[in-house]
Structure 1
Amino acid sequence: MPQFFLNKRLLMLLVSIIVLVALIGFSLREREELTWPEQFVKDSTSWVQSLVSRPAHYVAGWFENLQDLQNTYQENKELKKRLDDMARLEAKVYSLERDNEELQEILDKKESLSKYEPKQAIVVARNPERWNELIVINKGKANGIEKNMAVVTSRGLIGKVKSTTPFSSTVQLVSALDPANRISAILQGEKKLHGTIEGYDKEKELLLMKGLPYDAKVKKGENVVTSGMGGVFPKDLPIGKVVKVVPDEFGLNQTAYVKPEADLYDLEHVMVVKKVMDSVEFPDESDGEEEGK
């Protein structure tokens, strides 16, 4: 009996192998259409794959989008940083270019200040409430700065030293509304006219040059410079140009409105100049006595 079952099993195995080989051979043949079992199996497999792949693709796509979003955030952050760095760099370049221009102008200006002793300084403070009156510079007594020294930019006069400390000085601008703030000036027209800079029109941002003769012919655009007669300001420092002329309240003199040559609103690099007195040589008395002998 056991031998019978063994032979039966062997027979079934052989039949199964034959059927399997036949099916494989049948399936490998080139056919235009599949059988309905093959179609059923294929459609079922495709449906199951589709059912599984859609959520898988969705989840994978979500993670990819999340990764892309994170990468975009990092890139955006890096770009913003570069833009900020570029803005700071542009501001620095602009500041350096401006400083270079101003310093170059100051160096060129020294050629015309041969009779003066210029000391370069930087504006370090300015009170908003007294913007048109006072500035503070970073040079003081330790640098040889003294009261009443003239202060200029590369373009022209801006004021004088009002007070000093060892390492800083307060400068009174020409636009300060102080009755004692007067500058002896010359109007360089067809005829040289003397007057004084005293007063400032805040609305028009113009200096007032008073004391001009009532019959003097003054033209627009004529230069106004320091006369050097006040004992404070050296001679021929540019102050500004005439904008218009009006008679004073009594009609005895004229007042010229002068546009400052220097920019009194935006001040950074300045020069403090000391007037150099020309030395006068006196004859030696001993030589005279010897000649008399």
Structure 2
Amino acid sequence: MNKISKLIVVSSVLLVLSFSLLFLTVQKRLSIPFLSESIHTSVAYMNNFISKPVRFISEQRDVVNQLLDTYDENKELKESLSSLEGQLAELDTIKKENDSLRQTLGMAGTYVSKDIRVGLVSVRTPVAWNTQLTINLGQKDGLTTDMLVVSNGGLIGTIEHIYDQVSDVKLLTNSDKVTKIPVKISAGTSDIYGILTGYDTDSNSFIISQLNSVAEIPNGTNVVTSDLAGATPSNVQIGKVRTVKTSTSDLNRELYVEPTANFSNIYSVLVVGDGK
């Protein structure tokens, strides 16, 4: 038997003995001062001995309850904070969409002679970020394949697949599958024509080749679409010449053009047809 067990047994015996003597004292009206004092002292000692663990457990229970209450409060605060952050992010997205839409509507006046429609981007996935996006315009809106798509001030792609309610846009940053678009370069007093044939991911530039002139083309020269091919709407902004890569023949030069449009944040679009 260990010390704690012995202490419990001795304490229990003393407690029973003390209560027995106290009972006799009360019932028989015996007055034993020394005995009464000893009994009261023993009872007080035992009461203190027993009450201390009880108070300790009660205090610890209060501490645990406070910790649990604090945990619940922190959990609720975190949930509220997370909800608030989500609402702020959603509000920021709506603000950017509205700003983009106002800019797009302002651009519509530039193409008064063209067949135009204003739409919003409904899907743009990370896996196809540089190749494709989906807009909320489709067959019901009279779209046709290869119509030009403009956003953020410049050409971003062409209509590739059309469905009833939506359409897929093939972006010009799709380096593996670029739509060839006729372009016009305004170099001084003359216009030079060529074809947008690719996209260079290293310099983030459009590549224009098959130039019809050997005239000098300074850096910063403006580049727009051309209607020489017949079906492509003209004068849609593309970008400005960044560098000219020369070869053995000036006709085989390649122009690297910095896009006017910002491809990072595309929220609204202007779909442009030839209007004929």
TM-score normalised by structure 2 residue count: 0.73
Q: Aligned to 1:161, what secondary structure does the other structure show? A: strand
Q: Is 1:227–1:234's contact at 8 Å kept on the other side of the alignment?
A: yes
Equivalent residue in structure 2 for 1:85, among 62, 83, 86: 83
User: How much does 1:273 deviate?
Assistant: 1.7
Letter in 2 for 1:159: G
1:197 aligns with 2:203: no
Letter in 1 for 2:230: G
The separation in 2 between residues aligned to 1:165 and 1:52, in whole angstroms, is 82
Letter in 2 for 1:80: K
The separation in 1 between residues aligned to 2:245 and 2:179, in whole angstroms, is 21
User: How much does 1:45 deviate?
Assistant: 8.8
Residue 246 of structure 1 aligns with which residue?
Answer: 245
User: Where do residues 105-184 of structure 1 align in structure 2 (5 Å cutoff)?
Assistant: 105-125=103-123, 131-177=129-175, 181-184=179-182
Q: What fraction of aligned residue pairs are identical, expressed as a percent?
A: 27
Pair 1:87–1:192, CA change in 2 (3 A): farther
Residue 254 of structure 2 aligns with which residue?
Answer: 255
In the alignment of these two chains, the number of paired residues is 241
Q: Is 1:152–1:271's contact at 8 Å kept on the other side of the alignment?
A: yes
The separation in 2 between residues aligned to 1:60 and 1:152, in whole angstroms, is 72
User: How much does 1:141 deviate?
Assistant: 1.6
Pair 1:65–1:163, CA change in 2 (3 A): closer
Residue 236 of structure 1 aligns with which residue?
Answer: 235
- Measured against aligned partners, the alpha-carbon deviations of 1:48-76 in whole angstroms (never above 9, x if no partner) come to 67545532331221121121022012101
Q: Aligned to 1:207, what secondary structure does the other structure show? A: strand
User: How much does 1:175 deviate?
Assistant: 3.6
The separation in 1 between residues aligned to 2:175 and 2:69, in whole angstroms, is 62
- Measured against aligned partners, the alpha-carbon deviations of 1:18-40 in whole angstroms (never above 9, x if no partner) come to xxxxxxxxxxxxxxxxxxxxxx9
Pair 1:48–1:183, CA change in 2 (3 A): same
Superposed CA RMSD in Å reads: 3.3
Highest CA radius of gyration, 1 or 2? 1
Q: Which runs of 5+ in 1 are unaligned?
A: 1-39, 278-293
User: Where do residues 4-19 of structure 1 align in structure 2 (5 Å cutoff)?
Assistant: none
User: How much does 1:225 deviate?
Assistant: 1.4
TM-score normalised by structure 1 residue count: 0.69
The separation in 1 between residues aligned to 2:142 and 2:152, in whole angstroms, is 20
User: How much does 1:131 deviate?
Assistant: 4.9
- Measured against aligned partners, the alpha-carbon deviations of 1:148-188 in whole angstroms (never above 9, x if no partner) come to 32111132111222342333323333344578832222223
Letter in 2 for 1:218: P
- Measured against aligned partners, the alpha-carbon deviations of 1:1-34 in whole angstroms (never above 9, x if no partner) come to xxxxxxxxxxxxxxxxxxxxxxxxxxxxxxxxxx
Residue 31 of structure 1 aligns with which residue?
Answer: none
Q: Is 2:133–2:171's contact at 8 Å kept on the other side of the alignment?
A: yes
The separation in 1 between residues aligned to 2:142 and 2:251, in whole angstroms, is 43
Residue 206 of structure 1 aligns with which residue?
Answer: 205
| More moved, 205-214 vs 150-159 | 205-214
| More moved, 68-77 vs 267-276 | 267-276
Q: Which runs of 5+ in 2 are unaligned?
A: 1-37
Q: Is 1:212–1:253's contact at 8 Å kept on the other side of the alignment?
A: no
The separation in 1 between residues aligned to 2:171 and 2:54, in whole angstroms, is 78
Q: Aligned to 1:95, what secondary structure does the other structure show? A: helix
Q: Is 1:213–1:253's contact at 8 Å kept on the other side of the alignment?
A: no
